[in-house]
Structure 1
Amino acid sequence: MSYWLQVVVATPAHSAIAGPLTYRSESPLAVGALVRVPLGRREVLGVVWDLLPDGGALQAENIRLVAGVLEGLAPLSATWRKLVSFTAGYYQRSLGEVALAALPPQLRELNAVQLTRRLKRPVVDTSRAQDTSDLIALSAQQERALAEFDADTRPALLFGATGSGKTEVYLRAAAKVLAQDPAAQVLVMVPEINLTPQLQARFEERFAHLGKERVVALHSGLTPAQRLKSWLAAHAGQARLVLGTRMAVLASLPHLRLLVVDEEHDPSYKQQEGARYSARDLAVYRAKLESADTDHPHGDCRVLLGSATPSLESWQATLTGRYQRLNMSERIGVPSAIDTEATQFSDGPPLGKLAPPGGSELHAVSERGGLPLSAGPPQGKLAPPGGREPHAVGERGGLPLVRRVDMNHQPKHCTIAPPLLDAIAQRVARGEQSLIFLNRRGYAPVLACHDCGWKSECPHCSAYRVFHKIDRTLRCHHCGFTERVPRACPSCGNIDIAPVGRGTERLEEHLAELLAGVRRPDGEAVRIARIDADTTRLKGALESQLASVHAGEVDVLVGTQMIAKGHDFRHITLVAAVNPDGALFSSDFRAPERLFSLLMQAGGRAGRDARHSQASEMWVQTFHPAHPLFEALKRHDYPVFAARELAERQAAGMSPFGYSALVRAEAKEQSVAQGFLNAAAAAAQLRQLPGHDAVTPYPAVPMTIQRVANIERAQMLVESPSRAALQRFLAAWQPLLFDTRRQAEFKSLVRWAIDVDPIAI
């Protein structure tokens, strides 16, 4: 007797095979079972998606048999299948692509004997009662946040300042869920596992009583065997707590009761290849699905989003009441009210007293509304000895004092303003640490000849190759093309070719020159370190470098966004952003949001130890000190920034008040890529597709980086005020895109893809 099955398999992107394929089996199989099936000349892994009552008009001899079943694995749950179906439909990808990408790759390669051997490995239950005697006391704000979270069922946004103790709230919420239900599982998501090692360590330490096998990590940095082991433990319910990156949101967790999304604003939660899903949004949807599952005995599945600078989409959701907002505005161990009788003073440099060689006056801008600081204290304020400017710790909640340096008043071509350099030197002399943030790695963005105008362009991309001095190479950060630095200009032969601009490598070298005469308290020379993608290529390099910082072996840390978020540096009292102006006037409407978030996160690395919070400062070097973004930053006032951005977006009909998708095309010629998109849009207009009256497709344009690895790239923006109308349009448009692709003039098209809810335009 034959049993008819609908099986989902991984099909090539845009192969026009989006749904399940029909197979037959000689024995009954459960929906959700993992099977091996023939596909062409290969044997691939598949998931039984549905059962057919009979073959109907199908001829049995034309339907291929299931090759085998992965015995011992429980079927994937109905809730998991609903999640995958929604993801595939909403993000316009094939069902098999999403479903199989959510499974560990090694599962596709194991034979029945190998899988049985792994499943038979005993799980040593070393769980024991948790010792709560050494738990730190919660602050009043933490206790209130937990109480409010327990009293509601909506998705919750924990809006907490950096250093306010959000992680402890996550830990307590997870501990309560695990204690209530002996089978419950908790998923904790982080943007990038390498950027948050301390968070992982804290969770593993706090839940060590569950046993080593019951706290697992799930991310792409694991070996295939490690990833398979973690997935099997989660799927079987043995893992009680899973810590992972965006891929973990699609993991099989049959008893999931709590999802925590740390730093929910981070762009890393948006997948940029294949199915371009947002893990944050899927976490909210998954909690809704899990809550509707009647098999869970302990009520709803909750989702807790956390950030000091929430995404504007999540913030707007709290304003409309869809999300619950939990506020924690004060850092742990910092006074919550202003003591007018004992105003605290910054230990920063005596502003207004510094002058460069030659005696010309410098101007630094602090929290006084963008006015330049002149010699002497501001009127109406008491100046402490030494001319230091006062600030009340309470009014900032222990967050660092923000000083804006107007670079229009600094020496020409100055990289580090003299006031900032003096502030760093003072920190070094006191045995404190400083962090210098520049979101551009390499020595210089470009190498140039000033005689003929030659620049180090990449021959394969419409971008410049970055000069890396440490290995004397020109390296393209888009396609990876690398060459040795030429001895002379390839165009005119001039030997005087020079770097233009600065990256972290050059900044590190420049700081070493500027601070050459500065000494630590022990009399030794200043120690400068750099952390970016170039210095952390080797396995274990990041952990080793971070350990040096925590041990106090580094005085000045230079780096990119790798060090600007997620780390709990206890001895950093000064953070400086060297060149943040580039994003202020970007064509991407999300650029200001990303910049404000990055600067707030970077500033949050300073003063995390309550002993240093009074002296902590953030310096921002800018040519636009009066820009509203910096005005909000100086007050650490995210609500004001968000209100301004939301008003602008509402006027323009942009997210979260409007919905969009990008359709991207790649070809050997730009005209082919743009022609394909324009032709597909014209066909959609001609056919009057569902939702077309509420959807606006714009003409195709080249992407910002137009050519990568000799492939031309174009994109088309599609907007709508209605999410439902946009989804109907995109679903109906897919067949037209396939038909347009088959036209003779577009045979040279390489690929195309739809990106729903893009994070960058």
Structure 2
Amino acid sequence: MSVSSPAVLGIAVPSPLRRLFDYRPAGAPPEGGWQPGLRVRVPFGPRRVVGVVVECRDDSDLPLARLKPIEDRLDDAPLPADWLWLCRFTARYYQHAPGDTLHQALPALLRQGRALEARTRERWRVTEAGAGEMPESLGRAPRQAELLTMLRQHPHGMLAQAILAQSFTRPQLQALERKGLVARREEPRTGPADAGGPLLAEPVLPLNREQATALAALHEGLDAYHPCLLHGVTGSGKTEVYLQLIEAVVGRGRQALVLVPEIGLTPQTLARFKRRFRVPVVALHSGLTDHERLDAWEAAASGRAPIVIGTRSAIFTPLAAPGAIIVDEEHDGSFKQQEGLRYHARDLAVARAHHHGIPLVLGSATPSLETLHRAQSGDYRHLRLTQRASRHAPARLELVDLRGRTRRGGLIPPVLEAVEETLAAGHQVLVFINRRGFAPTLSCHACGWLAECDHCDARLTLHRQPPLLACHHCDQRRALPDACPDCGSADLRPLGSGTERTEETLAERFPDVPVHRIDRDSTRRRDALEQTLTEVRRGEPCLLVGTQMLAKGHHLPHVTLVVVVNADAGLYASDFRALEHSAQLLEQVAGRAGRAAHPGRVLVQTMHADDPHLRLLSARGYDALAEQLLEERRVAALPPFRFLALLRLEGAQEAAVTELGGRAAEALREHLKARELDVDCLGPVPAPMERRQNRYHLQLMLGAGKRSRLHEAGAWLAAWLEAEPAARRVRWSLDIDPQTLA
């Protein structure tokens, strides 16, 4: 078969159906012939959509005469082959529609049919004639003389926007151009590094013995798939190891992809990498405009950007010369997409590094149990960093018993005294409370009424800024009632504490000390988080009150006391991963203390100070608790010793959801029995929050000792649901390797 003239194009179009759609090629073929990766515009029902050619064939299940022709070819050359491979792998592994997978993995402008080409910018340089011209010769044009003098001070030229920002005008530039004194050229917005210069813009930091050993181990595998867990305590210098590994990768003419868990970490990571390297460093995250995202995507695909930093979706960034993939804070739950295409960026990083035969670094102070198990079993190389750069040992958790204690803003008197002592010593305090708002809910002291959401099985959160009741699940908002709607009493009281209430309490107790609240509500404005952290890093005594946004990766050298308002959320939750995630969060929060010259202290308030898991965590740290949790998982046959998939069903009619869930479970069990597949089918059962946004949620869990068996059962179940008429009235999704049951 000639690839350049196939009879049928198998095209992935944005659709929830798990199949390709066949079309006939039309118009002139591209210079290289029809091939996978080309974008086309095709009719799809009443719409015209952009699809991607995935297969070129000579046959179809339909008569060729019945196939619709494509309407337009959008590309002369295909999209990068490594991007297409990853998308196809993702769709296959996560049992997701190929068209929807490719659609989500493309920048928005490419989905709309925009060409994959770099936007350019104008750079002006002095010519040889201009370098020899004396500015005095332009005496009758003094502004032109000043402009020429300024440009002569920049041998690499200046961007037009930078020149105009100095109060010069475009006619002045054009006048010098006509005289042959300056010249302009168009260059990509993400341009190449300065030719011939050194790779580094600043010297590397000296490594301690453990860092040097880890880096040497990483250098051993630069030409092959070499997965490593870089297991280092907070503040141990993992980022410096990343930087020096990237130096070696870029020095070989290859590219590095660095994944970070949160958009809040991207600016500080980007700034540190740009300070170190003289090559383009691009970022990909949800805070970019569509044009900025396309510029970064194209720069990575063309190879002009040797270093790419991004959040979860950046795993789909094509690389012209892949050299290494680094996943920082690999344990973080935000690497798992929880809606639509439910992929895990860390796991795709593993698959991608294996496909390209390049090193993979998974870094964390608190590795996920899956990664830790693979390191212990020899699948990953286990590299340890046990020493902090500050040489202070990591702060241990001190459990503070809340039972029988009076609280103000969630804090008890001994803890407030410790805060006062720390501030008096000229240091900073971080107060961690993973609940935004003023209080978790509003209660009537007379009859016990609780403010509940009309659309969810959840209580409304009380906010003071502005004053209202809000649901954090469906975003319903309600004005504060004047009296209890059940008994008419005016004695309505906030129940529990959120970030706003704790902030208010601390501001009253310490009126002369700045209190910075950092949560989703206070950082909605662009750059608000970075501006606050910049102020904090000046070192003046202050109080930080925040959610887990503060717990991840931020370097706060002047924080010496961390207070955890309530550590009990994950102790007795229904999700089997809750304790692992809670322990990781506590250790990450504790890691913000004592990162510089002064040792740190961590106070953890709890109603269960005698809980054996908490006591083990506080006495011996996360590693000891992780060993115990791994043993408990092995005995219970739970991940990482077993593989899971979760069928999620939701609909407006409870009866329809329940009926479909029951029929799907019955059909699957009959199929498993007939095929003698060793796969468990548990449920269906209501989701932990059964009603959310006025829709009812049901779950069916599949478990298997072999991944292949799980995928076989999942594929059969997805095909059954696609063919079932009742499933069209219920929204459903199959979550492979679910990270939460919520």
TM-score of the superposition, structure 1-length normalised?
Answer: 0.83
Residue 250 of structure 2 is matched in structure 1 by 178
Determine the C-alpha separation between the residues in 1 that align with 2:60 and 2:419. Answer: 78
Which of 385, 389, 406 is the matching residue for 1:332?
389
Per the alignment, in what secondary structure is the counterpart of residue 700 of structure 1? strand
Deviations 1:666-707 (A, max 9, x none): 112323212211101111223347865311111211111211
Which of 524, 530, 538 is the matching residue for 1:543?
530
Shifted more, 454-463 versus 313-322: the winner is: 454-463
- TM-superposed CA distance for 1:266, in Å, is 0.1
Written as runs of structure 1 = structure 2, the 5 A alignment for 1:80-99 is 80-99=83-102
Shifted more, 274-283 versus 686-695: the winner is: 686-695
- TM-superposed CA distance for 1:567, in Å, is 0.4
Q: Does 1:657 align with 2:644?
A: no
Determine the C-alpha separation between the residues in 1 that align with 2:629 and 2:232. Answer: 20
Change (3 A) 1:688 1:700: closer
Per the alignment, in what secondary structure is the counterpart of residue 232 of structure 1? helix
Change (3 A) 1:134 1:462: same
Determine the C-alpha separation between the residues in 1 that align with 2:85 and 2:500. Answer: 48
- TM-superposed CA distance for 1:590, in Å, is 0.5
Determine the C-alpha separation between the residues in 2 that align with 1:637 and 1:734. Answer: 42
Deviations 1:438-478 (A, max 9, x none): 10000011111122332211111111111101211101111
Change (3 A) 1:414 1:289: closer
Determine the C-alpha separation between the residues in 1 that align with 2:589 and 2:282. Answer: 29
Residue 80 of structure 2 is matched in structure 1 by 76
Q: Does 1:108 align with 2:87?
A: no
Written as runs of structure 1 = structure 2, the 5 A alignment for 1:527-676 is 527-553=514-540, 555-609=542-596, 611-613=597-599, 616-635=600-619, 637-676=621-660
Per the alignment, in what secondary structure is the counterpart of residue 226 of structure 2? coil
Residue 130 of structure 2 is matched in structure 1 by none
Determine the C-alpha separation between the residues in 2 that align with 1:140 and 1:155. Answer: 21
Residue 235 of structure 1 is matched in structure 2 by 301
- TM-superposed CA distance for 1:527, in Å, is 1.8
Residue 225 of structure 1 is matched in structure 2 by 291
Determine the C-alpha separation between the residues in 1 that align with 2:324 and 2:7. Answer: 37
Q: 2:451–2:460: 8 Å Cα contact kept in structure 1?
A: yes
Determine the C-alpha separation between the residues in 2 that align with 1:191 and 1:330. Answer: 24
Which of 49, 54, 62 is the matching residue for 2:54?
49
Written as runs of structure 1 = structure 2, the 5 A alignment for 1:262-341 is 262-291=328-357, 301-334=358-391
Which of 420, 425, 445 is the matching residue for 1:425?
420
Deviations 1:540-575 (A, max 9, x none): 211221122112356111110011121000100000
Change (3 A) 1:20 1:146: farther
- TM-superposed CA distance for 1:40, in Å, is 2.3
Change (3 A) 1:466 1:195: farther
Per the alignment, in what secondary structure is the counterpart of residue 701 of structure 2? strand
Written as runs of structure 1 = structure 2, the 5 A alignment for 1:332-731 is 332-334=389-391, 398-408=393-403, 410-411=405-406, 415-516=410-511, 525-553=512-540, 555-609=542-596, 611-613=597-599, 616-635=600-619, 637-688=621-672, 693-731=677-715
Residue 125 of structure 1 is matched in structure 2 by 192
Shifted more, 189-198 versus 224-233: the winner is: 189-198
Per the alignment, in what secondary structure is the counterpart of residue 738 of structure 1? helix
Change (3 A) 1:150 1:632: farther
Q: 1:670–1:702: 8 Å Cα contact kept in structure 2?
A: no
Change (3 A) 1:199 1:45: same
Determine the C-alpha separation between the residues in 1 that align with 2:711 and 2:200. Answer: 50
Written as runs of structure 1 = structure 2, the 5 A alignment for 1:189-204 is 189-204=259-274
- TM-superposed CA distance for 1:260, in Å, is 0.3
Which of 202, 214, 238 is the matching residue for 1:166?
238
Which of 38, 47, 72 is the matching residue for 2:43?
38
Which blocks of at least 5 consecutive residues in structure 2 are unaligned?
A: 122-185
Q: 2:409–2:504: 8 Å Cα contact kept in structure 1?
A: no
Which of 722, 729, 733 is the matching residue for 1:753?
733
Which blocks of at least 5 consecutive residues in structure 1 are unaligned?
A: 292-300, 335-392, 517-524
Determine the C-alpha separation between the residues in 2 that align with 1:467 and 1:692. Answer: 53
1:542 is matched by which residue type in structure 2? L
Q: 1:141–1:327: 8 Å Cα contact kept in structure 2?
A: yes
Residue 208 of structure 2 is matched in structure 1 by 139
Change (3 A) 1:116 1:511: closer
Deviations 1:332-362 (A, max 9, x none): 141xxxxxxxxxxxxxxxxxxxxxxxxxxxx
1:568 is matched by which residue type in structure 2? H
Deviations 1:216-247 (A, max 9, x none): 11112211111111111112222211101111
1:37 is matched by which residue type in structure 2? V
Q: 2:672–2:679: 8 Å Cα contact kept in structure 1?
A: no
Q: 1:433–1:572: 8 Å Cα contact kept in structure 2?
A: yes
- TM-superposed CA distance for 1:117, in Å, is 6.6
The two structures, once aligned, show a CA RMSD in angstroms of 2.3
Report percent identity of matched pairs. 39
2:439 is matched by which residue type in structure 1? A
Deviations 1:598-626 (A, max 9, x none): 011001101111x113xx10111112223
TM-score of the superposition, structure 2-length normalised?
Answer: 0.85
1:443 is matched by which residue type in structure 2? F
